[in-house]
Amino acid sequence: MFSLSDLEEAHRQVQEAFAPTPQYRWPLLCERAGAEVWVKHENHTPIGAFKVRGGLVYVGRLSREGTAPNGLISATRGNHGQSLAYAGRRFGVPVSIVVPHGNSTEKNAAMRALNAQLIEHGADFDEARVEAARLAGEQGSLFAPTFHPDLIVGVATWASELFRAAADLKAVYVPIGLGSSICGAIRTRDLLGLRTEIIGVQSAKAAVYAQSLEAGHAVELDTAETNADGLAVRITNADALAIIEKGVSRIVTVSDDEVAEAIRVYWTDTHNLAEGAGGAALAALMNERETMSGRRVGVLLSGGNIDLALFRSWVLG
């Protein structure tokens, strides 16, 4: 994993691109939750999601070392691809991204606007990931994984900012896709010597890590059909699972209806727009309102990239 000096260096690299995102304590939200709630606003990054932090560290290293002469390729449902594309444009590294058919039209447009070449393949993220790895071998480009030490230390910088700005948090709720964010938060908490609980959040329709912890081994799901596309992962990453198993207090699962309500609450109480994964942490806190009553807690608003059509059909009904 990474050291405190690694984390500080990653933060320096991230801050060369953009300033720390805010963490706010919104009165209406605190009143609704019955707790002192600190929202970490990763919807305020240059791509509207936390993953840009990891992309900057990962692609920055590739650029310095010259280890991706033919560019890189990866798979995504959106934010990971935007992260790589943003960093690729910044450092002059060509980026190709494989997305599943039916992927978010607005996230696709955002990646293209960042000069990424987009390729559509497969029914879900995991099928797109297999195709990206195949194309990397065929084209001689570098396959960029979605779980990597550079990505973890990069995204961990949001946790470093939050822990230092909002002291003595009882717990922080973190959505889990493949796991880089929660793994970074766990490691950052431990490096800073804090006692904060890290609580994972997954969609009830894609609870691959929750089920893996219950089973005592990595599991694979047949489907991951949730509107919260950032959580739509059905294959466990063994390295992430090992970190989560040791460092997480628990994993809370949330329904799509509960996530939609959290997105509505973010809009009414803070006037911020959250995507599905971005609303999941608040949904989990609302489920545990009684447990966290009167406590000082953090929630990660991990991104705000939700398509207008999905917002209308899912959130507004």
Residue 115 has pLDDT above 90, yes or no: yes
CA distances to 137, 181, 206, 230, 282 from 288, rounded to whole Å, are 46, 21, 20, 22, 10
Residue 77 has pLDDT above 90, yes or no: no
pLDDT at 124: 87
Model pTM above 0.85: yes
Residue 52 has pLDDT above 90, yes or no: yes
Which pLDDT band, with edges at 50, 70 and 90, does 241 fall under?
Answer: very high
Domains defined for the chain, CATH in brackets: 4-50+149-315 (3.40.50.1100), 52-143 (3.40.50.1100)
Residue 126 has pLDDT above 90, yes or no: no
Please state which of the ranges 122-126, 144-148, 183-187, 263-267 shows the lowest mean pLDDT: 122-126
**Residue 120 tokens, joined:** 């559509």
pLDDT at 66: 94
Please state which of the ranges 98-107, 134-143, 171-180, 281-290 shows the lowest mean pLDDT: 98-107
Enumerate residues 6+ apart whose C-beta is below 8 A from 218. Answer: 212, 236, 238, 241
What is the pLDDT of the chain when averaged over all its residues?
A: 96
Task: State the average pLDDT over residues 42-57.
Answer: 98
pLDDT at 105: 87
Q: What percent of the chain has pLDDT over 70?
A: 100
Task: State the average pLDDT over residues 196-221.
Answer: 96
pLDDT at 104: 86
Task: State the average pLDDT over residues 37-53.
Answer: 98
Length in residues, the chain: 317
CB 30 within 8 A of CB 292: no
pLDDT at 122: 95
